[in-house]
Amino acid sequence: MTSPKTRIAALYKFVPLQDALSYQLPLKRLCVEHGVAGTLILAPEGINGTIGGPPDGVERVLNYIRNLPGMASIEVKESWATEMPFFRMKVHHKPEIVTMGIPAANPLERVGQYVEPEDWNRLIADPEVVIIDTRNHYESRIGTFEGATLPDTESFRDFPAWVQENESVLKKAKKIAMFCTGGIRCERATAHMLNEGYDEVYHLHGGILRYLETVHESESKWTGDCFVFDQRVSVSHGLKEGDWDICFACREPIDEQHKSGPGFELGVSCPLCVNKTSDEQKAGYRERHKQQQLARARDEQHIGVNPRENKRSFK
């Protein structure tokens, strides 16, 4: 069995960062110099992202970030992977580190009450609590908490509209408990809920990732895997790499059942999208997959290929 060798660090912090743009280039250079890849977003409201690479390289980058104004106490959620889950290093400067489209939902002003992972089960067992999965449909499809309400959104920007459409039901709840992958979307979502007049709003501190790391599987109220935005695709309890893959046509997570089902063609389509793409699009996907295979034969990395294809056989 291959031992994990790549250190993964997911991080975010809302803090005023007025000189955010000035850190973009130095941060990217540092990452590239030490073999670190992934995505980081800098904004006047803070930092957000996930990086991976050699343990020492990741530590150097984290030390740099901790020395930025207000970042000394930044919380980092760590895991390990057997393969590098990122192709390149991207450092973006944007107006916000997570976008919902509601400027008034400002986590720097107020957020919901944090609930630690070890206290989460007790909260969601309360019959007066409505549990809301703030993630998108393709994320919650492969795993969520027992009893959670799934907004089934396409993007985080759709969340405010879902809240408005379901106001009559949500307003009857005495408590709202919200969760997301790493915690950052709930910072914005709980701020929005408070602005909308919901009084008791809670969110899982550190998100699903911290829960899966902290709470033993025998006591867990989580079912399935947690979708992650890198080439691991998903993680399970203990933050172990999951068994899901990605369809390169529709970018939906797929499992062995999908890969053995009608319409699956490696690199081209899956049962979820085979009837949603044209013959012209499928031809383009086939050509892309061909180039990926040729690159692999030359022992080269083709941008866009899933490294997990190297260790898995598809039906």
Catalytic residues: 180
Angle between helix 24-33 and 55-66 (nearest 10): 160
Provide the residue count of the chain.
Answer: 315
Contact 263, 274 (CB under 8 A): yes
> What span, in angstroms and rounded, lies between the C-alpha atoms of 185 and 156?
8
Q: Quickly tell me which residue has 């947690």 as its tokens.
A: 226
> What span, in angstroms and rounded, lies between the C-alpha atoms of 28 and 36?
9
| Pairing status of strand 201-204 against strand 175-179 | parallel
> What span, in angstroms and rounded, lies between the C-alpha atoms of 285 and 269?
8
Full DSSP string of 250-315? T--EE-HHHHTSTT-BTTTB-TTTTTTS-HHHHHHHHHHHHHHHHHHHTT-PPTT--GGGGT----
